[in-house]
Chain A
Amino acid sequence: MKKVIIAGIVLITSFFLNSAFAQCNSELYVNKSMKSLESGFQFSKSYRIDGRGGTRKKVEYTCVFSKDTNYQIRISGKDGSAQGLIGTLYDSKRNKMVSSFYNNKFLEGWTFKCRATGIYYLSFTFQNSKSYCGAAVLAFRR
């Protein structure tokens, strides 16, 4: 009987601990991502990437990009650097433009030299992520 109660307490405690770890404080990673922006790029927006412990497979945002503008994305997450996080850009027709998972590496981001004004989709997905938590920032330069 005692063993069962102890097992129960351990189970509940571990669940509480897991829940606490599952909380995603994206704000932390916004600041980290911002610091890795290349000089000359002006910060424009931040994106919170909270996969809610793996229950959300994709976090997507819509962007309006302007022609003749360079856009830079920087990603950082709880697993360290951009580990486990992938930022992919699609155009308005859902053609893939660029992904931060390149040559089997999780890159910290990319620079997109935009030549066509329009709607783009910025999609964040997870691959072998432990935390499902991070953030990205968007910056621009003419």
Chain B
Amino acid sequence: MRNLYSIILSITLLVGCGANNASSSESPQQLAGSVDPVQEEASAVDDDIINDILQSIPSPLEISLLIKEVGSVYNKADLNDPGRVSNYNTNFDKALNLGIYGTDLGYSNIYNKNQDALNYLNSVQNLAEGLTIGQFFDYATLKKLAESADEDLEALLRTTTANFEKINYHLREQKREYLSILLLTGGWIEAVYLTTLVHNRTKNEVLKEKIGEQKIVLDRILLVLDVYKTKNGFGELITDLKKLQSIYDQIEIETVYGQPTMVEKNGVLVVVDNTKSVIKISDRDIDSITSLLKSIRNKIIK
């Protein structure tokens, strides 16, 4: 009798352990049992760190919306030509340019340039399919929303962002984080490049600060790129971005701390940050960043 109790208890515990392991964070390979669990365990910490850094990189939309807010006019020539999509044949080029086209898609949407947005949507779809992640990109819905962007821009931008997030999430699930970082890097380079162009025309101080504060994002991007430095194409990209980082090293972000204040209004808590930061960036720094970023982008878009 006692033995039977022991057997039942053992089965229960074993089943319990199995159920716990089948958590949502497991990769498809793990679930299929095709990956050595010990090996997976060993790399799990690194994956978490990489994923946290990837997740922390701000959406390029923050910059694109700012560019429009400062009153800049839309200039199609500033963006990458959607027709160049056939030039991108390796996964490295596809992922970087998927990021670039993603930013251009958001940018043309913000300015209600429906036809341009549709062209970028096609290029994005093309590259996503080339990377076998096309199934996570809801082309039909985005096309429909883009055609009526003037009616509900917020829905279009929300759906576009959610789609790119889904692509990134699935790349990480498939243990293809190296493509996810390229996608995010491409998106970031295009957003900052557009900011430098518009700043050059307008000399707007808000844009100048925005360029300066990218120091924090660039540091984070390089942390992840460095993990994959032995992969094809990464070496040159890292070298180029490190040159950019050395210019950014001259820029200071000074922070003066203060206690936040908060009010609750109709169940919504609003907190005002009383810590302030000043970004110290010279015109010379801006010129160096503008010129180097242009050459890095030119190499990528070919």
Contacts and interface: CB of A to CB of B under 8 A. Distances in A.
B211 to A, nearest CB: 12
A25 B23 CA distance: 10
B55 A62 contact: yes
Given A42-B65, A42-B154, A64-B220, A111 B273 contact: no
Given A44-B58, A111-B268, A116 B273 contact: yes
A11 B24 contact: no
B255 A12 contact: no
A61 B62 contact: no
A97 B273 contact: yes
Interface stretch (B14-22, B235-243, B287-295): B14-22
Contacts of A25: 24
Contacts of A98: 260, 262, 269, 271
B41 to A, nearest CB: 16
A89 B75 CA distance: 38
Contacts of B206: 68
Contact of A142 (B15, B69, B264, B268): B69
B276 interface: yes
A21 to B, nearest CB: 11
A50 B272 CA distance: 29
Interface residues of B, number: 57
Contacts of B161: 42-44
Nearest to A111: B270
A61 B56 contact: yes
Contact of A64 (B25, B56, B66): B56
Nearest to A117: B213
B158 A50 contact: no
A45 to B, nearest CB: 7
B56 to A, nearest CB: 4
B62 A108 contact: no
Contacts of A119: 56, 216
Interface size class of A (residues with CB under 8 A): 35 or more
Contacts of B270: 110-111, 113
B273 A52 contact: no
A23 B53 CA distance: 26
Q: Which of B22, B61, B62 has most chain A Cβ within 10 Å?
A: B62
Contact of B271 (A19, A42, A50, A113): A113
A110 B271 contact: yes
A85 B268 CA distance: 16
A8 B4 CA distance: 9
19 contacts: A4-B8, A12-B15, A16-B19, A43-B158, A44-B61, A46-B162, A47-B55, A50-B24, A62-B55, A64-B57, A67-B213, A89-B271, A102-B269, A107-B264, A107-B268, A107-B269, A111-B268, A117-B213, A119-B56
Given A46-B162, A64-B216, A66-B58, 17 more contacts: A7-B8, A12-B11, A12-B12, A43-B157, A43-B158, A50-B25, A62-B55, A69-B62, A107-B264, A109-B268, A110-B268, A110-B269, A110-B270, A111-B269, A117-B253, A119-B56, A140-B62
